[in-house]
Amino acid sequence: MGAPGYGPSPSAPYGFPQGQPGATAQYPQATPPAKKPFHKRPWVLVVAGLLVIGSISNAVDGDEEEPAASSAAAPSTSTTAPSTAAPSTPSQAIAPPVATTPTTSPTTSAAPAVDFVMPDFVGMDLQTAQNLVQSNGVFLSKSHDLLGNRSQVLDSNWIVCDQNLPAGQRVTGDVEGVIDFGAVKREEPCP
């Protein structure tokens, strides 16, 4: 065929001349496309996006559903009570729950009425004094700084110097928030 030195050699490495039928081209083998990492596959991204949106939606709707559920529970009890009482007018259906709410409220406010003799709290740490007042049924007492306007963050670090109700006085009725202790820090002298 051709002269030596021109073009490729007359025979291919496997004995087939180039350009002849049955000759195989020496092309690189095609490898199957590499699979994408699991987290980069489109369906994984779609599912993850839906989960995120669902979680956010549930969190936002979850806060709103709790009050709705409690308000839904209240009307269900009020609708059962009026149906047994008298279904004639809707105003009668609403009146019984309103009447029951105030009756439970005065009972609750009447419960803190106390009757005890006021102990002498002077010299005690403020936390112990407040605990003893609470053991007598008074759950809200006040205290103030006798040397300024400092906040009593840790009540056990303050000492009671005076009390507005004298020791030995009979304490009766609703005295929530009435008892007041004057206190200083533990390392300070009483004025």
d(CA 176, CA 37): 67
Q: Any idea what DSSP says for residue 155?
A: G
Mean confidence (pLDDT) of the chain: 73
List, for residues 10-28, the tens digit of each pLDDT value: 555 555 555 556 555 566 6
Contact status, residue 117 vs residue 137, Cβ threshold 8 Å? no
CATH of range 114-185; options 3.30.10.20, 3.90.850.10, 3.40.50.720, 1.10.3110.10? 3.30.10.20
Q: What average pLDDT score do residues 127-132 get?
A: 95
Task: Determine the Cα–Cα distance for residues 98 and 87; give it in Å rounded to an integer.
Answer: 17
Residue 57 has pLDDT above 80, yes or no: no
| Residue type present at position 52 | V
**Smallest Cα–Cα separation from 186: which of 114, 105, 135, 124?**
124
Tell me: pLDDT of 70 over 90: no
Q: What integer pLDDT is reported at residue 47 of this predicted model?
A: 86
Q: C-alpha distances in angstroms, 30 versus 34, 85, 137, 146?
A: 11, 85, 87, 90
Question: Tell me, what's the pLDDT at 11?
Answer: 53
For the chain, give every domain's residue range.
42-110, 114-185
Query: Quick check: 155 and 125 in contact, CB under 8 A?
Result: yes
At residue 20, the pLDDT reads 59
More confident residue, 133 or 7: 133
190 neighbors 147 (Cβ within 8 angstroms): no
The model scores a pTM over 0.85: no
3-state secondary structure 31-75: CCCCCCCHHHCHHHHHHHHHHHHHHHHHHHHHHHHHHHHHHHHHH
CA–CA distance, 177 with 138 (Å, rounded to integer) = 8
Question: Does residue 154 carry a pLDDT above 50?
Answer: yes
Question: How would residue 80 be classed by pLDDT, with cut points 50, 70 and 90?
Answer: very low
Nearest-5° Cα angle at 167, 162 to 171: 110
Give the pLDDT score at 89. Answer: 45
The answer to whether residue 155 scores a pLDDT higher than 90 is yes
Q: How confident is the model at residue 65 (pLDDT cuts 50, 70, 90)?
A: very low
